[in-house]
């Protein structure tokens, strides 16, 4: 059985908590895309864990975690995370596996990512600077280093040499930066490569064998639908496919084996980095949401831009991901706002758009058509049953359901594991 959990907005929907919630009932948790740009936060008994690469399911001692071929792996970040987990008494060995054909993020990828984004000037994307786009670019340029290459002395040296020849040319001639030394990097990475050996497997065979044996797999998406390289707000996107389809290419799970797709929907909208965001609130209310929702990037610490719920994008997310059901997160953050708004359509040059336009010019300059609803004042963070929610909270959820066509199966009302209402 395969269940997929995806973000339906611009990431940071609270997937960490939702994945942690579902992880208890599965055998394997597998990441299928992205890299150390992700930041999945899980809070257990007041203790906060932020995961960048390792699936958060690792917190359950009996679960197996897989980093799939669609992920780009920065070994430095990976071992930082492993040692932090081990310091907290969480054993990783024998439970964490990395795909042989996952691509490796090298120091030049991170450097180039940061330099390139700076050079974009006004067109800056606001990347996380973790070398994500540059690692994927090398993958598609067929000069990437996969985990299996990384472990082989000769292949690694040869690939590193080729990659650095090109990168150093750019550093020297174009960016006027210092060059990187092949032999030094080769030497520096020797102990890391040794340590990595025990984790690397043929994950596509492993996962499919587990599925055939009747094991339950949870495929964990990072980022969100509107950061998807194909369907997001291009070019203000990440370099992979966070949509549910990414599971097929990023884990080698055939579409015929996917049983359920669960969307994670924040009760309002946030975005980190640059790019269009029609329902963004630019006044004090945006700041209020940021504070009460603790909306700061889990990876970079950057303040997240905050805005009203946008039903148009979530409706599109339902279509492109094939959502079976959704979990609404951070509903408690909306308590105390007198009037709530929901974006229901866009207007651009006299034309109304009821669906998400892939044209970035339209999406960047449109005016939002809103519906207004009465808010609620009650603290809902300790409510365990839907019936106990205030009348206006229920009305808000009902309207989201009607406008987006999604089936709501759960509501998260706080950051702790237990703060969840099942429907």
Could you give the residue numbers annotated as active site?
Answer: 12, 40
User: Which range touches ligand IMP (CB under 6 A), out of 17-25, 31-39, 72-80, 185-193?
Assistant: 31-39
Reduce the DSSP state of residue 195 to 3 states and report it: helix
Confirm or reject binding of residue 238 to ligand IMP (CB under 6 A).
yes
Helix and strand numbers (H, E) in the chain are 13, 20
We find the least distance from the C-beta atom of residue 132 to ligand IMP, in angstroms, to be 4
Read off the tokens for 158: 């040869």
Among 71, 196, 272, 362, binds ligand IMP (CB under 6 A): 272
Among 101, 128, 233, 415, binds ligand IMP (CB under 6 A): 128
We find the least distance from the C-beta atom of residue 242 to ligand IMP, in angstroms, to be 9
User: Which range touches ligand IMP (CB under 6 A), out of 212-220, 235-243, 249-257, 279-287?
Assistant: 235-243
User: Which range touches ligand IMP (CB under 6 A), out of 55-63, 84-92, 127-135, 373-381?
Assistant: 127-135
Sequence-distant contacts of 57-62: CB under 8 A, at least 24 apart: 57/19, 57/20, 57/23, 57/26, 57/28, 57/29, 57/218, 57/220, 58/29, 58/85, 58/90, 58/92, 58/95, 58/96, 59/20, 59/23, 59/90, 60/23, 60/24, 61/90, 61/91
Confirm or reject binding of residue 223 to ligand IMP (CB under 6 A).
yes
Near ligand IMP in 6-25, by CB under 6 A: 10-12
Report the relative pairing of strands 339-348 and 351-353 from DSSP bridges: antiparallel
We find the least distance from the C-beta atom of residue 239 to ligand IMP, in angstroms, to be 6
We find the least distance from the C-beta atom of residue 387 to ligand IMP, in angstroms, to be 34
- Helices 182-196 and 75-87: crossing angle in degrees, nearest 10, is 40
Question: Taking the alpha carbons of 381, 387, 393, 398 in that order, is the dihedral positive or negative?
Answer: positive
Report the relative pairing of strands 305-307 and 269-271 from DSSP bridges: antiparallel
Confirm or reject binding of residue 232 to ligand IMP (CB under 6 A).
no
We find the least distance from the C-beta atom of residue 6 to ligand IMP, in angstroms, to be 13
Residues contributing to the site for ligand IMP (CB under 6 A): 10-12, 37-39, 125-128, 130, 132-133, 222-223, 227, 236, 238-239, 272-273
């Amino acid at each position: 059985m395969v269940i997929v959990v995806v973000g339906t907005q611009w990431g940071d929907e609270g997937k960490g908590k939702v994945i942690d919630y579902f992880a208890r009932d599965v055998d394997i948790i597998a990441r299928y895309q992205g890299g150390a740009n992700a930041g999945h936060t899980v809070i257990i008994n007041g203790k906060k864990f932020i995961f960048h690469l390792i699936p958060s399911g690792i917190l359950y001692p009996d679960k197996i975690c897989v980093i799939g071929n669609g992920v780009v792996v920065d070994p430095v970040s990976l071992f930082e995370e492993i040692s932090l987990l081990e310091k907290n008494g969480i054993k990783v060995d024998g439970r964490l596996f990395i795909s042989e054909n996952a691509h490796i993020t090298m120091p030049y990828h991170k450097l180039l990512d940061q330099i390139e984004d700076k050079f974009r000037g006004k067109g800056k994307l606001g990347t996380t600077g973790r070398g994500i786009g540059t690692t994927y670019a090398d993958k598609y340029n067929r000069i990437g280093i996969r985990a299996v290459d990384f472990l082989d002395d000769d292949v690694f040296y040869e690939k590193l040499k080729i990659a650095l020849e090109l990168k150093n040319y750019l550093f020297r001639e174009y960016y006027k930066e210092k060059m990187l030394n092949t032999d030094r990097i080769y030497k520096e990475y020797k102990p890391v490569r040794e340590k990595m050996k025990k984790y690397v497997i043929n994950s596509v065979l492993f996962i499919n064998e587990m599925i055939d044996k009747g094991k339950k797999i949870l495929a964990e998406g990072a980022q969100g639908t509107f950061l998807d390289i194909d369907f997001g707000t291009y070019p203000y996107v990440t370099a992979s496919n966070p949509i549910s389809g990414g599971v097929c290419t990023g884990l080698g799970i055939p579409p015929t084996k996917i049983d359920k797709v669960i969307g994670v929907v924040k009760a309002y909208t946030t975005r980190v980095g640059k790019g269009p965001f029609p329902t963004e609130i630019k006044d004090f209310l945006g700041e209020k949401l940021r504070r009460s929702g603790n909306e700061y990037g889990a990876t970079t610490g950057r303040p997240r831009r905050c805005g009203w719920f946008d039903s148009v994008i979530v409706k599109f997310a339902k279509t492109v991901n094939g959502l079976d059901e959704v979990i609404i997160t951070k509903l408690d953050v909306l308590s105390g706002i007198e009037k709530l708004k929901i974006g229901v359509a866009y207007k651009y040059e006299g034309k109304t758009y009821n669906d998400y336009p892939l044209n970035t010019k339209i999406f960047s300059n449109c005016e939002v058509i809103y519906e207004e609803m009465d808010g609620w004042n009650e603290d809902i963070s300790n409510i365990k049953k839907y019936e106990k929610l205030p009348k206006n909270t229920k009305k808000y959820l009902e309207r989201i359901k009607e406008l987006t066509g999604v089936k709501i199966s759960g509501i998260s009302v706080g950051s702790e594991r237990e703060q969840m209402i099942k429907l």
